[in-house]
Structure 1
Amino acid sequence: MAATMQPEAVRPSMNGESDFSRAKWAYLDSFLSRPGAYSDPEMFVPGEIPVKSISESAQILVIGAGGLGCEILKNLALSGFRNIHVIDMDTIDVSNLNRQFLFRAKDVGKPKASVAAEFVMKRVPGCNITPFVGKIQDKDEAYYKQFNLVICGLDSIEARRWINATLIDMVDDEDPDSLKPLIDGGTEGFKGQSRVILPTMTSCIECQLDMHAPRAAVPLCTLATIPRQPQHCIEWAHIIKWEEERKDIQLDTDEPEHITWLYQKALSRAEEFGIQGVTYSMTQGVVKNIIPAIASTNAIIAASCCNEAFKLISSSAPSLGMPGTNNYMQYTGDAGVYTFTFEHQKKDDCPVCGNLPKDLTVDPEQTLEELIESFAARPESQLKKPTLKTEGKSLYFPYPPSLEEQTRPNLKRKMKDLLSNGEQLAVSDPAYPISFRYNVSFS
């Protein structure tokens, strides 16, 4: 009992709480009122300051309210964080209920962010969670500047890359508060990882992109001309036909009617080119990029992410993100209950946090179309709708249709006819707020 009793000075009344209601946070006060084995005396001052940092000052943004996001929101609330925002654009599907424990059958069809926020606030009085139903791209830089750190529980590489580039672009060397740590968690089956990124200071998501297996993606020019696989037909229906025929309707991947429409268009496309294998379930899997998820893996990775958030805000222990230390934790539950950490190095030629363009060796006899196809599979880019241009001319624009038609003849031209040896090539994609720069050399 004595270990949990704290002086009044470190158990302040917050948001009008009585001493009795504050007693439920005695374990938190106990932890923050004394130094630990790994705490740095120059950074961690036990007592009221770290308690208030957690419960009053910290503003946390959680991106994603799915399998990982539900666990993260719960952990943050039970760790004493009071000011939390959550972003998610999805609605609740029946298939979510087996692992996304903040949702019930009556919630199917409702926005994940709103339902998750309401559930946690009801169970943890005093915790204020502000939901936003929409895309992370809908918010501007001023929105992200209000937070102390960002935690991602995403299943999309594209979204990770976007928020990574945005937070790096926000950093102002003359304003230390402009640096917002990014804690990223990810799971797939029995495997998972968490990492801490200090924008411009440590390795970023773009530096680590080659650790992710390239998604089965094909550039737009291939989808629009000659599909070779059933997935190509589905992506064609998803990316091209929906924009052409239903651009005024927001695609909802949880809406059966929308998936059925895409399936029928993809099936018709497949029959036209003699391709077998297009099914409704495959359509759903390709469009939603469905990956296997296990509740226990989500719980482990979310715990790691929230542990890092607690350490960063309170300074009570060294974080994974400290420059020059291990910044990447990996969990391999398929081989046993194993975790290990290592340092992922920052790359000088990273297109986001680095300053140098990458070197790109191409065959001068290669066509532009073949080069574009290679960008979809290239681990460091994984681009689906790349636009290519040099300082003096535009090589290919996949959109709008007028520019695509003008630049389409270049697809069949050889690289030696479009570029000079040593010329710089700029490659962009609508999914990312950056351009990839390459110094081209002929093999």
Structure 2
Amino acid sequence: MRISVDENQSDRWRDIRRFTDRPSAFASQFFEPGPSNMESIHNCPVLVVGAGGLGCEILKDLALSGFKTIEVIDMDTIDLSNLNRQFLFREADVGKSKAEVAAAFIEKRVAGCKVIPHNCKIQEKDVEFYRKFSLIICGLDSINARRWLNALVCGLVQFENGVPDHSTMVPMIDGGTEGFKGNSRVILPFITPCVECSLDLYPPQVNFPLCTIAHTPRLPEHCVEYVKVVLWDKEKPFEDETLDSDNPAHGVDPRLTLGVLKRIIPAVASTNAIVAGSCALEALKLASNISTWMDNYLNFADIDGINFSVIKLDRNPECLVCSGAAITYPTPPSSTLKDFLKQVKEKYQLDNPSIQSSDSMLYMISSLMPQMVETSRQNLAKTLTDLGVHENSELVIADESMPKPVTVRIKYENE
């Protein structure tokens, strides 16, 4: 069945026009009823990040809500195991780009809707690419990708006399699902809390030391990780096939193995549909002012009954991204660089941070700078004071999860 969006058919957007063309007690203070609101929705450029289970639902909901200028970005290709919940794909699409197939499906099904696909990593696009959108909606399964995009969106904001210029803000709507639980949130940079402000809501990613999995594996997870890291390339159980965490034939127990390989819980289609509906509704509000946007975090669970709750999260005055100042970091004077590295990795959920003082690079383990590896390892045993880091010294921390470095100011405290 093909859904017509012929402009001559006045009833195509009839239900949405009941909100856009009439006065409402729930409308934003900027709302004025009239046909211009529907035009605002039609012409609002939206970027959907991710074309997986949640992304497919978001694309469908946006197109059927009247958004006609959509772009989607996803680096993944379609796997057979995706088809049970990612309904924009068919068996003939296996191996093709998710973004390209999803875009073509929406354009074919909803005439008048233009969807431009981008088959690449989000990090491969420059700042100007993201600046052109009025809304960004995330349907990601990666915390690091969320953090990277969140920091980039905050970096788009310009200031006048220390006050953020609202015309330079690109609102971000973030959705996430985990089994029978999900959430959605509206992020207005420097107005509402950003992803980094509430980083403690996300569990830290678990990685297993190679020495443990190779010599003294104590958990089933260790065995799975050992196969992934050590044995797969050596034994080649499926000849030249690379390890595919979406292929049940490559694992022992699907649920356990997915948890180790992908650090996620398998998705539930109904949860994706509900969270995507919430994201699309917030996009509709922001594009037309038919209602005030959600303030600011929706939590959903249908494990034991169905529960929706909206809570107002607060901004973190010491947020690495949106606080606007160097963060004071308390630590004992006897702290070694190894201690400090462990602390910041745990507190800010960093993967492989580099640390630099005003005088020198203190720590960097990277193939791009092999000459720093030995120096970095030697520095780990030294105290911060031995490395020339004094009270109120500033350290610059960079990590792959952040698009730009952040600065912390050291404050020594009594032990």
**Global fold match (TM > 0.5):** yes
Q: Where does structure 2 lack aligned partners over 5 or more consecutive residues?
A: 234-238, 246-250
Residue 336 of structure 1 deviates from its aligned partner by: 2.0
TM-score (ref. length: structure 1):
0.79
Quick one: distance in 2 between partners of 1:203 and 1:185? 15
Q: Which has the higher helix share?
A: 1
Quick one: distance in 1 between partners of 2:244 and 2:278? 39
Match of 2:314 among 345, 361, 366: 345
Quick one: distance in 2 between partners of 1:116 and 1:312? 24
Aligned residues: 389
Aligned 1:127-146 pairs, distance under 5 A = 127-146=113-132
Quickly say closer, same or farther: Cα 1:191–1:280, change in 2 above 3 A. Answer: closer
SS at match of 2:72: strand
Q: Is the contact between residue 215 and residue 377 of structure 1 (CA under 8 Å) also seen in structure 2?
A: no
Match of 2:57 among 64, 71, 84: 71
Whether 1:404 and 2:373 are equivalent positions in the alignment is yes
Whether 1:427 and 2:397 are equivalent positions in the alignment is yes
Quick one: distance in 1 between partners of 2:342 and 2:230? 17
Matched with 1:248 is none
The code of the aligned residue for 2:320 comes to P
Quick one: distance in 1 between partners of 2:115 and 2:357? 46
Matched with 1:35 is 23
Residue 100 of structure 1 deviates from its aligned partner by: 1.0
Residue 161 of structure 1 deviates from its aligned partner by: 0.7
Q: Is the contact between residue 387 and residue 398 of structure 1 (CA under 8 Å) also seen in structure 2?
A: yes
SS at match of 1:434: coil
**Residues 12-57 of structure 1, C-alpha deviations (whole Å, 9 max, x = no match):** xxx994523x4322222233211223114x41111211010111x2
Match of 1:387 among 346, 354, 358: 354
Q: Is the contact between residue 61 and residue 85 of structure 1 (CA under 8 Å) also seen in structure 2?
A: yes
TM-score (ref. length: structure 2):
0.84
Quick one: distance in 2 between partners of 1:346 and 1:238? 39
Residue 355 of structure 1 deviates from its aligned partner by: 2.2
Q: Is the contact between residue 213 and residue 223 of structure 2 (CA under 8 Å) also seen in structure 1?
A: no
Quick one: distance in 2 between partners of 1:164 and 1:349? 16
Q: Is the contact between residue 228 and residue 243 of structure 2 (CA under 8 Å) also seen in structure 1?
A: no
Residue 73 of structure 1 deviates from its aligned partner by: 0.2
Residue 121 of structure 1 deviates from its aligned partner by: 1.3
Whether 1:26 and 2:23 are equivalent positions in the alignment is no
Whether 1:192 and 2:186 are equivalent positions in the alignment is no
Q: Is the contact between residue 203 and residue 346 of structure 1 (CA under 8 Å) also seen in structure 2?
A: yes
Quick one: distance in 1 between partners of 2:195 and 2:81? 29
Q: Where does structure 1 lack aligned partners over 5 or more consecutive residues?
A: 1-14, 246-254, 262-277, 321-325
Whether 1:356 and 2:356 are equivalent positions in the alignment is no
**Residues 250-283 of structure 1, C-alpha deviations (whole Å, 9 max, x = no match):** xxxxx9822289xxxxxxxxxxxxxxxx979777
Whether 1:296 and 2:251 are equivalent positions in the alignment is no
Quick one: distance in 2 between partners of 1:410 and 1:76? 52
Matched with 1:438 is 408
Residue 354 of structure 1 deviates from its aligned partner by: 0.6
CA RMSD, aligned part only? 3.2
Matched with 2:242 is 258
Match of 1:111 among 97, 102, 108: 97
**Residues 162-219 of structure 1, C-alpha deviations (whole Å, 9 max, x = no match):** 111111111123554321000000111111111101112221111111111111147x
Aligned 1:79-228 pairs, distance under 5 A = 79-173=65-159, 176-217=166-207
Whether 1:47 and 2:47 are equivalent positions in the alignment is no
Quick one: distance in 2 between partners of 1:141 and 1:176? 18
Quickly say closer, same or farther: Cα 1:430–1:235, change in 2 above 3 A. Answer: farther
SS at match of 2:183: strand
**Residues 343-384 of structure 1, C-alpha deviations (whole Å, 9 max, x = no match):** 111122211111233333334444423432333332xx1111
SS at match of 1:130: strand
